[in-house]
Amino acid sequence: MSTGALKLASVAHPTVARAARSRVWLGLWGAVLVCSWGGNQFSPLLLMYENRDHYSALTVNVFLGVYVLGLAPALLISGSLSDRHGRRPVMLIGIAAAIAGSALLALGPLGPGFLAAGRLLSGITVGVAMSVGNAWIKELSGAPYGNADRGAGARRAALAFTLGSGGGAVVAGLLAQWGPLPQILPFLLHIAVTLPFAFVIARLPETQRGGGVAGPWWRQLAIPSAGHRRFLRVVAVAAPWIFAAAGIGYGYLPTALRGVTGSWGLVFATAATAVALGTSSLMQPIAKRLHSADSARGLSSAVLVIVVGLAVVAVAIWQQSVWIGLVANLLLGAGIGIALVSGLLEVQAIAGPKDLAGLTGVFYAIAYAGFLTPALIAAVAGFAPVLVILAVIVGIGLVSWVALLVASRKHLPR
């Protein structure tokens, strides 16, 4: 609902106006969901590209991770620019990138260059949605646009991401397994559901006008709160494990089990994604209660659960077991859900009023670095057994968990 409509409603029907204000965030929530859909719809299709186009495991995992090249700059730049120039214009760029990215992915049968370019634009889409969209959801959830509690913005943003990522993967996987034109139809459907949100975003109230850090625009990129000790010693230590868990659990594992899944590989990849992100969504109310501003209880618990899940991934590969693989994704999803909510609550406590979107972008940039893990595993697998590589990753995770426990009480948010 536009700002003008809210004002008219407040004159005629105060009760209706309050209800409308409390729901104004929903349109943006849907936009973040479809952007997240675009970022993750490619994940369950890795086996399809291996089997149909005969790409190597390394190549398809590079496709999975290449969007980090678009994601990281978008996370770091878009949030900062929206802190200065407003949320709406930058979010519209994200919607445009989502549509263009899916269009290029639909042209994937013409060559790998279209897939790489589409993934790059998908990264830009997710970067904008995670930094600008998340900050905007928080702002629209509170006064004067809404009446939600302080942590509602983080929970709503995290839920939009997980439901969008999970829904996009499930729809794409099912269409690729049983639908016509499996390399094209999933992306055309995404374009169809995304396009209307350009009009939705254009009507949302702007919450940031001429703000941000004073001086030349590039000074906004500095993001002062990124140097906060709590962010460096706690949040940045935990963040990479969020998407390392995702990349390994429902990106790499299905390719490692293709010998036992056979023609049902796409179904397993879709199921693994649904289990991980569905569990993540269900865990987010629990994550709110687990989070503590006086310690890193939320993030340390999340990292420990993720490390256990990664150990179960190794067991699934060792035993070549689909069922153990699904249990691993359940554990990883629980850790992802806790880490997303707790991480965003940490960011919102640390960030100043002028760099909320910027710090949110830094958080997600660090987190998404973990999505490069499957490509790293595929590259190193020629020199060392996969189980040894996973054991090393689990060991590093345990070190990170201990570091969180040590640092959590020394570097409080305020």
pLDDT at 219: 66
Name, in order, each residue with C-beta under 8 angstroms of 176's C-beta and a sequence gap of 6 or more.
44, 45, 48, 182, 183, 186, 266
Per the structure, the count of domains in the chain is: 1
Rounded mean pLDDT, 137-141? 85
Domain membership of residue 246 (yes or no) is: yes
326-355 pLDDT, tens digit each: 999 999 999 999 998 888 888 888 887 677
pTM for the model stands at: 0.77
Domain membership of residue 332 (yes or no) is: yes
Domain membership of residue 365 (yes or no) is: yes
More confident residue, 304 or 1: 304
290-315 pLDDT, tens digit each: 776 667 778 888 999 999 999 999 99
Domain membership of residue 211 (yes or no) is: no
Domain membership of residue 219 (yes or no) is: no
Domain membership of residue 210 (yes or no) is: no
Helix (H, G, I), strand (E, B) or coil at 19: helix
Q: Quick check: 207 and 87 in contact, CB under 8 A? A: yes
Select, from the ranges 76-85, 97-106, 261-270, 294-303, the one with the highest average predicted confidence (pLDDT): 97-106
The residue ranges of DSSP E strands in 89-241, in sequence order, are: none
Domain membership of residue 271 (yes or no) is: yes
Burial class (CB in 10 A: 0-12, 13-18, 19+), 43: buried
Q: Quick check: 344 and 157 in contact, CB under 8 A? A: yes
CATH number where 122 lies: 1.20.1250.20
Question: Which domain range does residue 332 map to?
Answer: 12-204+226-407
What is the DSSP-derived secondary structure letter of residue 215? S
Question: Residue 13: pLDDT band by 50, 70, 90 thresholds?
Answer: very low
More confident residue, 263 or 149: 263
Least confident of 124-133, 197-206, 356-365: 356-365
Domain membership of residue 212 (yes or no) is: no
Residue the block writes with tokens 């905007």: 136
pLDDT at 187: 95
